[in-house]
Chains A and B, each alone.
Chain A
Amino acid sequence: MKRQVPLALVFIFGIFMIIQYFIPHEKSEWVYEFFLDWIYIIGIFALALGIWSLIRVSYDKIKYRRPNWQYAAITLLGLFFMILFGFDYGRHIFSAEGLRNYMFVSFFDYILIPIQATMFSLLAFFIASAAYRAFRARSALATLLLLAALIIMLRFNPYFGAVTPYIEKTAGWLLNVPNLAAKRAIIIGVGLGIVATSLKVILGIERAYLGKD
């Protein structure tokens, strides 16, 4: 019974969502939006579970002094203080309330955002190292890749005088013919895969997400 009810729910709502796609009527849209709202409601409850999981894992690391437990302590302190600042309602030491709290905004703007920007900027260095590895001409295919990449990169270089239009044309062909064809092939495959997986879920063939209890 504990497995049959979720499977029946998935089947009914899955079929409804397929049918809904073909019904543009306002009433159909209303029901669709009503169901989508449930995702937010479930999300709020799940967030509580997620925070509990984070606290438990971090607490265990600190309690048993696991390697690098200090990071877990910083995580918990950050979580605790941001919640505290977020819940503060304009006591005299703070100039604003809730999410406009001075400390909350300062921590967010001057610590979290710069750290996130730093993480993102790492991507530039990783792209360079990955490109170096990918473009080493170890085989015929890798050499082809290297040549294609060179042409695409040279396309943005303005110092080739009379050759520039030919480079631009070749780069345009590379992007619009072989590259686009491969992209579209992958997109078609992904589309079919999504439909097949959705059908497996709706028909109850794919049920790994259900658990056993």
Chain B
Amino acid sequence: MSDAAVSDAVSPQTQSRFITALRDTAFVGLLTAGLCFPLIALRAEADMNNHLELQQRWSWLVAATIAMAASRFITSIFDRLAARIVGVIGVWLILFAGGTAYYATNSHGGVIAGCAVAGLISIGLAAVLNRSNVDAGPAEPTRFYRLDTSGGSIAGNLISIAALGCAIAFPLVMLAWLGPQGSLKWINNYGVQILIYVMLGWGLNIVVGLAGLLDLGYVAFYAVGCYAYALLATKFGLSFWLCLPLAGILAAFWGILLGFPVLRLRGDYLAIVTLAFGEIINIVLTNWVDLTNGDAGIPSIPRITFFGLPFTASDDGFAAWFGIEFSPIHRNIFLFYLILTLALITNFVTLRLRRLPIGRAWEALREDEIACRSLGINTTNTKLTAFALGAMFGGFAGAFFAVRQGFVNPNSFTFSESAAILAMVVLGGMGSQIGVALAAAVMIGGTELLRELDFLKVLFGEAFDPSQYRMLIFGFGMVAMMIWKPRGLVSTRAPSIFLKQRKAIAGALVKEGHG
């Protein structure tokens, strides 16, 4: 079939295609309306007397139905993935413009017109994208072969070095650009926060990405490290630098303690048991009031010192010692470099271990457990090392968290925290170091950044808080990732050992055994 034939008269084929698309659209529209009718159209809200009243929001239901139906229409008339994505974006832009026009009380003419035009252009672009390859018939899903950057390709090394350079320069650039006051938020809320999650993601990556053990209670080890420092420092007055290794060792010890009985369980049972363990730790932390002070938490944990020099304005403080003017930003910059160092140690150890026999055994275990056992690998010990090592890095991160916050309570260690870290590992591509770091930066930094954007507040109202939708998007992203690229974004794995020449293996070719 040539291009001209498609674009000219309406052939029977395109006609039936169109009818199928319309039928799909109607079905998806009805389904959305049915799913959302009680949950979206009606909202139960308690009034002053704690009496529930229903609020009716039928326009929301209509909007959701139209949006889903229109998206389905686009995806069923276009064949190519790119055309579908661009087309759906176009439809959403037009609907957004329509919604703003319908609701806006003051003038948002520019935004409305801009969105509508951009939407129309997107749909036109989608049509062009779709036609340019119509001869090939329904296109095969394109598969991108990329090199695993953690495997050590040149491009990957350059990216890693550039990312590292940016991370090292970040606080100094911010300080020079915005001054001590303005840069505090960026270094603390963005830099340190993101790096804690990068470190947790890398730690969990050893367990999930390399050894293929799904751990849903990773936050328990984070909690162990955190409370280890908090308790040792407040009850025995030990310094952070002594507690940091202790926290890691304690967390690793807990990892071994839990790992011994459970690691012979199958993949999905292991996941549930680790989840139960995480919950038990949280309940104990909440209810063992004598030790942990329960929900009230442990306040006034000693702050970080510069290897003994406190970050205070006093005469024996950091600023006085180095003869510079005191500023609270010094502590935050130091914390930033500390967590950066800890995260890099995690990364370095992981990368080195991957080349040792134990690391190869982890990856072999992930791919096929029965084959491993047949080859004489001690699966229990292999799993246990991965589990303990992952727990240890979680413990380090926990101790850092405690010294940074100066206050801990059990609310920081809930299942949703475990789920967020797991989402980073899954979305970043299980096993890929740079992917996990990117996912952490986008997921934590991205939502913080969205909160800053004022024009979103203008459009969605003052109460708009994107972090409310963060986990919603993470959850959906995990499902989408499993369907689209189950082995993660970086789906090619460079083998860490090879005979003559390094050949990349596509993730799709690797069959997973019992994980």
Q: Do A and B come from one complex?
A: no
